[in-house]
A and B are shown apart, each in its own frame.
Chain A
Amino acid sequence: MTKQFPYIGNSEIEQKEILDYLGVKSAEDLFVDIPIEYRDSNLSDVPSSMSEMELVDHLNLLSEKNINLNPSKSFIGAGAYHHYIPSTVLSLSQRGEFLTSYTPYQAEVSQGTLQVTYELQSLISELYGMDVANAGMYEGGSSLAEAALMACRVKNIYKVACLSSISPRYKNVLQSYLIPQSIEIVFMDANNLDIKENEYACLIVQYPNFYGSLEDMEYLQDISHKSNALFVVSADPLAAVMYKAPGDYGADIVVGEGQRLGIPISYGGPYIGLFACKSEYLRQMPGRIVGKTIDKKGDPAFVLTLQTREQHIRREKATSNICTSEALMGLMMTIYVATLGKSGLKQVASSCFHNAHYAADQISKIDGFDLINSKPFFNEFVITCPISPKAINKKLIELGIIGGLDVSDQFNNGILFCFTEIHSKDSIDSLVESLKQVNI
Chain B
Amino acid sequence: MSEYNKMPLLMDLSRKDKFGVSLSEIDVPLSDLPESSLLREDIQLPELSQLDVVRYFTNLSQMNYAIDTQFYPLGSCTMKYNPKINDQLASLKGFSSIHPLIEESLVQGSLELMFNLQSYLSNISGMTATSLSTMAGAQGELAGVLMIKAFHEKQTSSSKRNIMLIPDSAHGTNPASASMAGFLVKSIPSDQYGNMDIDILKENANENLAGIMLTLPSTLGLFDNQIVEICKIVHEAGGLVYGDGANMNAWMGQTKLGDLGFDVIHINLHKTFSTPHGGGGPGAGPVCVNDTLLNYLPGPIVQRNNSLYEFIEMPNTIGHLGTFHGNFGVLVRAYCYIRALGNEGIPEVSKNAVMNANYIMNKLKHAYDIGFENRSICMHEVVFTARKQKQNGVKGLDIAKRLLDYGYHSPTMYFPLIVDEALMVEPTESESKNTLDKFIDAMLQIAIECENNTELLHEAPHNTPVQRLDEALAARQPNLKWSEK
Cβ of A184 within 8 Å of any chain B Cβ, yes or no, is no
Please provide the chain A residues from 401 to 430 with a CB less than 8 Å away from any CB of chain B in the complex: 402, 405, 421, 424-425, 428
- Contact between A38 and B255 (Cβ–Cβ < 8 Å)? yes
Interface flags for B28-55 (1: CB within 8 Å of A; 0: not) read 1111011001111001111110100110
| Count, chain A residues at interface, CB 8 A | 197
Interface flags for B224-237 (1: CB within 8 Å of A; 0: not) read 01001000000000
Question: Given the known A-B contacts A268-B328, A318-B176, are A98 and B92 also in contact in the complex, defined by CB atoms under 8 Å?
Answer: no
Please provide the chain A residues from 339 to 373 with a CB less than 8 Å away from any CB of chain B in the complex: 339-348, 350-351, 353-355, 357-358, 361
CB distance from A188 to the nearest CB of B (A): 21
CB distance from B465 to the nearest CB of A (A): 5
Residue of B with least CB distance to A28: B351
Cβ of B330 within 8 Å of any chain A Cβ, yes or no, is yes
Instruction: Kindly state the separation between the CA atoms of A352 and B177 in the bound complex, as whole angstroms.
Output: 40
CB distance from B38 to the nearest CB of A (A): 6
- Contact between B459 and A296 (Cβ–Cβ < 8 Å)? yes
CB distance from A414 to the nearest CB of B (A): 15
Contacts of B53 in A (CB 8 A): 88, 92, 335, 338-339
Please provide the chain B residues from 281 to 336 with a CB less than 8 Å away from any CB of chain A in the complex: 281-283, 298, 318-330, 332, 336
Decide if the interface of chain B is mainly helix, strand, loop or mixed.
Answer: loop
- Contact between B99 and A113 (Cβ–Cβ < 8 Å)? no
Number of A-B residue pairs, CB cutoff 8 Å, is: 672
Give the size category of B's interface with A: 35 or more
- Contact between B480 and A315 (Cβ–Cβ < 8 Å)? no
Instruction: Kindly state the separation between the CA atoms of A52 and B47 in the bound complex, as whole angstroms.
Output: 42
Instruction: Kindly state the separation between the CA atoms of A149 and B142 in the bound complex, as whole angstroms.
Output: 15
Contacts of A119 in B (CB 8 A): 9-10, 482
CB distance from B344 to the nearest CB of A (A): 5
Instruction: Kindly state the separation between the CA atoms of A292 and B342 in the bound complex, as whole angstroms.
Output: 46
Please provide the chain A residues from 162 to 187 with a CB less than 8 Å away from any CB of chain B in the complex: 167, 169-170, 172-173, 175-177, 180-182
CB < 8 Å neighbour of A293 from B28, B228, B470: B470
Cβ of A150 within 8 Å of any chain B Cβ, yes or no, is no
CB < 8 Å neighbour of B60 from A39, A112, A242, A265: A112
Interface flags for B152-178 (1: CB within 8 Å of A; 0: not) read 000000000000000000011101111
Cβ of B339 within 8 Å of any chain A Cβ, yes or no, is yes
Cβ of A228 within 8 Å of any chain B Cβ, yes or no, is no
Instruction: Kindly state the separation between the CA atoms of A52 and B136 in the bound complex, as whole angstroms.
Output: 27
CB < 8 Å neighbour of A306 from B23, B228, B282, B478: B478
Contacts of B279 in A (CB 8 A): 98, 101-104, 110, 112-113, 116, 327-328, 331
User: Can you list 9 pairs linking A and B with CB atoms under 8 Å apart?
Assistant: A9-B433, A41-B255, A46-B342, A66-B94, A100-B68, A122-B9, A267-B95, A269-B326, A339-B48
| Extra inter-chain contacts (5) besides given A97-B66, A116-B60, A176-B321, CB under 8 Å | A21-B362, A110-B279, A112-B61, A180-B149, A331-B57
By Cβ-Cβ distance, the 3 closest A-B pairs, closest first, are A63-B94, A49-B342, A328-B278
